Homo-oligomer: A and B are copies of this chain.
């Protein structure tokens, strides 16, 4: 059965579900926004009149099987099928033509295209790729700006609102809520991205790609979540974010008391619990697929922290050389950790008039991007390499470092407003992506998973028993403005659905309260800063957003999310473990002396206990 007829069936069945649901909108949608619509309480209410009929239809779609016709191949979010039902034929025609182009390229270059993806932190849309904006912000990124001249400047790339979730969505092609990686991790987490999640490295690796990850991983501190245990042939990565750089001696003015480096602090005679705070940190690990894990570099201090970046960049170029020598296509994910909270003490002269950490970091990333392009030219592979750069979420405006500011949108890191989830994003592929494109279509970071798989000839390795939110945007990349296969985004904050986007329209679910008030709708052309929610003017999209959410939650019922990052012991399996590394991640309490079982309390396996030391 082909997807078209499957989706037609879906559309019909869905329409039936929704007709029934509409009658209950007032009740189900104005309650606690964090609850799925199909929550038990609602079902009980429905039971009185509609439940028998409703249940029949729900079961038809969400039960043991879609009658007899579940979607075949990749399962997308339900919203996707609404579009496919309308544009499937056009897409199929485009795909035939795209397949031909990709086949020709492969013939011309001998391998599928190389893919290099660079993603840094906390940058507002427009801060990179729009030199006019940089002119008023006091810095310049000429190399990345040139990407806009020579490729696509995506004006509507959505991410998740924070680091860990965006990185999870990038790796898995799924909204972070599906993998349980919806919340930013900090040392020590005792959890990580589940081993059963399938990363883009695993997908491309099966299609013959050499894969490498360098930089800020931020997807857990458990052994199973290490980057080289998640499909990367080579990995050099920080399990956490940049925050530990605030905790060293050189950063004392930041005035944080975490206890990570207790030698910094005077004794506090009232501090009698030695189990309360971690006593140190590991910054960087390295490993190879199915190989050993090692801690990299000397113990943490600020200068070493900055060495991580240098090393990540060096390895990126070396991995290119190695892959070219082996005549293998490669996929490199480089996620700079440059935006440290502490400036590099070895390089005190500012590079920008702006002078703040973000601008200084962007200029340094930009210098590497220039070097990278030169390297690709020198290796003769520039025309067979897709390069993408982007940020992972909006600026850290809430008590973050100075100089991170809103540009066109309101809010920043952590927020569901556009400022939290729309980032600069640029792509080049000389000869294949047309130069000088400004693309206004919606795309989502998860789309890169599917698009890279398509471009790399690896679609068959995408898992088909779970929802893959990422849609194939190859047509958008190769055909340009107006060719997106997505006009929607579901925006989560942690595990909660906070907003829905559909084209120019946006629905604030987070602040919805029962009744009339706070049922806020935004027209993002009219009110891009989401200042004044409109109810009267957008009555016509009210039910549409209700249905969008219902479809989305129906799919969650059928393909459940992992509730959280998967628990496990932290930072185990390090070959060159320092004595203090082992010690600092150990709870210094004899658990035998406790009247309760800590594992039962936390639901997590314990780290090493004192008895292991």
* Complex Cα–Cα for A131 and B133 (A): 12
Min CB–CB distance A305 → chain B (angstroms): 23
0/1 string, A349-389, CB within 8 A of B gives 1: 00001111001000000000000000000000000000000
Q: Which of A153, A156, A353, A528 has the most CB of B within 10 A?
A: A528
Of the 9-residue stretches A109-117, A201-209, A274-282, A403-411, which lies at the interface with chain B? A403-411
0/1 string, A188-203, CB within 8 A of B gives 1: 0000000000000000
Residue in chain B with minimal CB distance to A131: B438
Is B527's CB under 8 angstroms from A402's CB? yes
0/1 string, A75-98, CB within 8 A of B gives 1: 000000000000000000000000
Chain B residues near A153 (CB-CB < 8 A): 132
Chain A interface, >50% SS class: loop
* Complex Cα–Cα for A336 and B333 (A): 51
A-B pairs with lowest CB-CB distance, top 3: A138-B525, A135-B440, A354-B525
Min CB–CB distance A535 → chain B (angstroms): 14
Min CB–CB distance A585 → chain B (angstroms): 38
The verdict on A132 contacting B137 (CB below 8 Å), with A354-B525, A526-B403 known, is no
Is A133's CB under 8 angstroms from B408's CB? yes
Is B135's CB under 8 angstroms from A438's CB? yes
Q: Chain A interface (Cβ within 8 Å of chain B)?
A: 125-126, 129-133, 135-138, 153, 155-156, 353-356, 359, 402-403, 405-408, 438-440, 504, 524-529, 531
* Complex Cα–Cα for A374 and B120 (A): 45
Is A526's CB under 8 angstroms from B354's CB? yes
Copies in the complex: 2
Is B403's CB under 8 angstroms from A137's CB? no
Pick 16 A–B contacts, CB within 8 A, sort by A.
A129-B132, A130-B132, A131-B438, A136-B156, A136-B408, A138-B504, A138-B525, A355-B526, A356-B525, A356-B526, A403-B525, A405-B526, A405-B527, A405-B529, A406-B529, A407-B408
Is B440's CB under 8 angstroms from A136's CB? yes
Chain B residues near A130 (CB-CB < 8 A): 130, 132-133
Chain B residues near A138 (CB-CB < 8 A): 504, 525
Chain B residues near A526 (CB-CB < 8 A): 354-356, 402-403, 405
Residue in chain B with minimal CB distance to A148: B132
Chain B residues near A402 (CB-CB < 8 A): 526-527
Chain B residues near A353 (CB-CB < 8 A): 504, 525
Is A132's CB under 8 angstroms from B126's CB? yes
* Complex Cα–Cα for A133 and B528 (A): 11
